[in-house]
Amino acid sequence: MHSSAAPLITRRQALRCFGIAGTALLAASHLRSATPAPASNAPAAPSLSGPQAGYYRFKIGDIEALALQDGGLTPPPDQGPFGVGENPGAVAAALDAALLPTDRLHLAFNVLLVRIGNQLVLIDSGAGANYGPAAGFLPASLANAGVKPEQISAIILTHAHGDHFGGLVNAQTGALNFPNAQIFMSKREHAFWTQTAPDLSGMAVPPDAAKGFAAGAQAVLTAIKPRLQLVAASDKILDGIELLDTPGHTPGHLAVVIGSGRDQLLHFVDAAHHHALSFAHPEWRFAYDTDPALATETRKKLFDRAAADRLRLFGAHMPFPALGRVRKAGSGYDYLAEPFLLG
Ligand SMILES: [Zn+2]
């Protein structure tokens, strides 16, 4: 019978496996405990917990840019919104094929800020109070980066969904959170949401939820009216910014190309929502697309262009800092995240 205090390896075994150094190691291991006891007067190690900085600096040619975190969601994948109508288990299988956890999705909320000339241009505004404590971190991320809300001169509202317009208006006071910003939005998108009963039958959500989408959009579009400028995608709103008609997720959804010289960034916004699922299965129906077939067509068109031109991408719901590229892979695509670079 072995004593519980018997060494796990004997001196003879240590000698055989590791030579003389091994026996010395074995002897030394008897002299110290597993974790060194701190001196009683040693200062406590600082805690490593706390909020994230929430921003990432990068450049697009000469244009300075910040990727900003607004938060994110981690819904269980079996409750949608991906792969509506697919076989049960298809979403989990696709997550597993991408070596991702199958019990939770990760959907980041990202906002892009660019400095063009003397203008600070924000693309969307985060979720504000619309998604509870999981989101609404844009003001903190901006503050950490040293940017004040009143310094934002323009906002491009890419489409009228709550995770994109929620940061425009203070939910308590009704005041505009970016008081000096001109807000640009697609004429078609605005016309769609401000009609009496927008047709949301293409979305795979209960009718009450669809009504909530419409009511939320109408309230915000009314509140921001004094600062709103409606545009067509072909309109030039600023040098260095091109708007792209990318309908399907919503009727007037805009993507944005930001360019300086040979450097370009395609912000595809909500043309795709998940870095593995939307790329491996661009044909899958997404529950919050108002026209799923058109959304798939737009998604493929954008990805084909981006793959052919090796365009640098930014996505509203990609893993932070949301920069990457796309390449064709079988019947779908691969999303390739850009390394996190300093400087
Ligand atoms: Zn979104």
Q: What is the pLDDT of residues 116-160, one digit of tens each?
A: 999 999 999 999 999 999 999 999 999 999 999 999 999 999 999
CATH 1.10.3720.10 fits 56-337, yes or no: no
CA torsion through residues 237, 135, 176, 220, sign: positive
**332 CA from centroid of ligand 1 (Å):** 21
**272 CA from centroid of ligand 1 (Å):** 9
**37 CA from centroid of ligand 1 (Å):** 50
Whole-Å CA distances, 304 to 245, 248, 290, 300, 335:
16, 17, 22, 6, 12
**90 CA from centroid of ligand 1 (Å):** 23
Whole-Å CA distances, 267 to 50, 189, 302, 305:
30, 18, 10, 13
Q: What is the pLDDT along the chain (343 residues), one digit of tens a residue?
A: 343 444 444 444 443 444 444 334 434 444 444 555 656 788 999 999 998 899 999 999 999 999 999 999 999 887 779 999 988 899 999 999 999 999 999 999 999 999 999 999 999 999 999 999 999 999 999 999 999 999 999 999 999 999 999 999 999 999 999 999 999 999 999 999 999 999 999 999 988 888 899 999 999 999 999 999 999 999 999 999 999 999 999 999 999 999 977 899 999 999 999 999 999 999 999 999 999 999 999 999 999 999 999 999 999 999 999 999 999 999 999 999 998 876 5
**125 CA from centroid of ligand 1 (Å):** 11
**164 CA from centroid of ligand 1 (Å):** 6
What's the rounded Cα separation, in Å, for the pair 300 and 307?
10
**What single letter denotes the amino acid at residue 309?**
D
What's the rounded Cα separation, in Å, for the pair 291 and 307?
24
Structural tokens at position 211: 């009504």
In this prediction, residue 78 carries a pLDDT of 78
**47 CA from centroid of ligand 1 (Å):** 34
Q: Give the closest residue to 152 by CA, choosing from 66, 74, 222.
A: 66
Whole-Å CA distances, 51 to 48, 69, 110, 144, 338:
10, 11, 16, 11, 23
In this prediction, residue 36 carries a pLDDT of 59
Class of residue 48 by CB neighbours under 10 A (exposed 0-12, middle 13-18, buried 19+): exposed
| Neighbour tally for 59: CB within 10 Å | 14
In this prediction, residue 199 carries a pLDDT of 94
**160 CA from centroid of ligand 1 (Å):** 9
**13 CA from centroid of ligand 1 (Å):** 61
Label residue 146 left, alpha or beta by phi (over 0 means left) and psi (-120 to 50 means alpha): left
**301 CA from centroid of ligand 1 (Å):** 19
In this prediction, residue 4 carries a pLDDT of 40
In this prediction, residue 34 carries a pLDDT of 56
Q: Which residue has the tokens 């850009």?
A: 338
**3 CA from centroid of ligand 1 (Å):** 63
**271 CA from centroid of ligand 1 (Å):** 9
| Neighbour tally for 135: CB within 10 Å | 24
**109 CA from centroid of ligand 1 (Å):** 7
**171 CA from centroid of ligand 1 (Å):** 19
Residue 185's H or E segment, with its range, is strand 182-186
pLDDT in tens, 188-198: 999 999 999 99
In this prediction, residue 10 carries a pLDDT of 43
